[in-house]
Amino acid sequence: MTHVFGGEWTEQKLVALKKYLEAYRKIFTINEKARYFRTVYIDAFAGTGERSDKAPASEKPTLFDNTDIDAPQATGLHKGSARIALELESPFDQYVFIDKNPKHTAGLTEMIEHDFPNLRSRCRILTGDGVEIVREQLIYGHDWKRTRAVLFIDPYGMNIHWDLIQRIAATQAIDMWLLFPLGQGMNRLLSRDHLPNPGHSAKLTAVLGTDEWKTRFYSSQTQTDLFGIESESSLKTATFENMVEFLKERLSSVFAGVASDVMMLENSKGSPLYALCFAAANKAGAKTAIRIASDLLRTRL
């Protein structure tokens, strides 16, 4: 497991994505069989194409949505995922960029029109909820028999649902990079000395697609009070590593392949914020995809 600390993690995440997209497009240009497919890049939480080191105040977090990213003070603008995908030497046949903030999609549109006019006709820029729109894209957007896609899911908080993960895997056509909110999302819902409240429990079950997390993350303890009356209580015993193992198991239950390596993105105090994971839905392509992604996840880039 690679551990990346402090503000460096955003950079590391995007370098891994960039290198993967380069390798991916190379395969689909060089390999004769692969050339048959139309390739699509889908960015479900696309941003503006640029990013500053610190999220603007207007993006301050809620647990299930935008969550503070513990980034260092702003030091200027850097390339975001959308720009990275558009700058590839061999571009994708189509791009789908989604962001729920209309200012972000407007900024992205302007950037594409200004800096990538030749690619404008290949881009769909959609304002709305990333999860809902990806779901629509999966059902109506593409002919998955003739299309292969890379999907980047880069939320601040716990936006994903297991139902969506299952649908992505069911296309048998998508390679998914998922930034899973670990310390920034899941761990905050896991109370230390009792099971989470019903709302938090339901959220965890919706994200993971099972309530098995209760027995995987908690141990039951029997306590006896002063009057000799026994009662059961639950204690959180799972470490971040245990949580990641469980997440990988869940992904493996639906995807053709899941990278065993994960990049742990940590804050400056060494506490895990996110786990960057990779899963491939296409059986024939999974082996190569997993090999490339694992190398990127294993190495400090």
Ligand X SMILES: C[S@@+](CC[C@H](N)C(=O)[O-])C[C@H]1O[C@@H](n2cnc3c(N)ncnc32)[C@H](O)[C@@H]1O
What the block records as the tokens of 141 is 């957007």
Tell me if 181 contacts ligand X by CB under 6 A: no
Q: Is the dihedral of CA 25, 31, 34, 38 positive or negative?
A: positive
Helices and strands, counts by H and E, the chain: 10, 13
Least distance to ligand X from the beta carbon of 133, Å? 8
Site for ligand X in 3-22 (CB under 6 A): 14
Assess 164 for contact with ligand X (CB under 6 A). Answer: no
| Contact call for residue 98 and ligand X (CB under 6 A) | yes
CB of 124 to ligand X, least distance (A): 14
Please name the amino acid found at residue 54.
K
Quote the least distance from Cβ 179 to ligand X, whole Å.
8
3-state DSSP assignment of residue 117: helix
3-state secondary structure of 36: helix
Stretch that binds ligand X, among 94-102, 181-189, 237-245, 255-263 (CB under 6 A): 94-102
- Give the Cα separation of 84 and 41 in Å (integer): 11
Q: Does 81 bind ligand X (CB under 6 A)?
A: yes
- Residue 79: which of 105, 104, 52 has the closest Cα? 52
Q: Which distant-in-sequence residues (6+ apart) come within 8 Å of 253 by Cβ?
A: none
Q: Could you tell me the two tokens for 43?
A: 């960015």
Q: Does 47 bind ligand X (CB under 6 A)?
A: yes
**Interface with ligand X by CB under 6 A: which range of 27-35, 86-94, 95-103, 236-244?**
95-103
Among 156, 177, 217, 218, binds ligand X (CB under 6 A): 156
Find the binder of ligand X among 70, 99, 175, 266 (CB under 6 A). Answer: 99
Binding-site member from 20, 149, 154, 171 for ligand X (CB under 6 A): 154
Check residue 159 for interaction with ligand X (CB under 6 A): yes
Q: Which of 39, 66, 67, 94 binds ligand X (CB under 6 A)?
A: 66
Size of the site for ligand X (CB under 6 A): 19
Shortest reach from residue 126's CB to ligand X, in Å: 9
- Residues in contact with 186: Cβ distance below 8 Å, sequence separation at least 6, in sequence order: 158, 180, 204, 207, 243
Instruction: Please choose, from the candidates 183, 242, 281, 190, the residue with its C-alpha nearest in 3D space to the C-alpha of residue 1.
Output: 242
The residue with tokens 């301050």 is 60
Give the nearest distance from C-beta 269 to ligand X in angstroms. 20
**Interatomic CA distance for residues 184 and 266, integer angstroms:** 10
Q: Which residues bind ligand X (CB under 6 A)?
A: 14, 45-47, 51, 65-66, 80-81, 98-101, 104, 129-130, 154, 156, 159
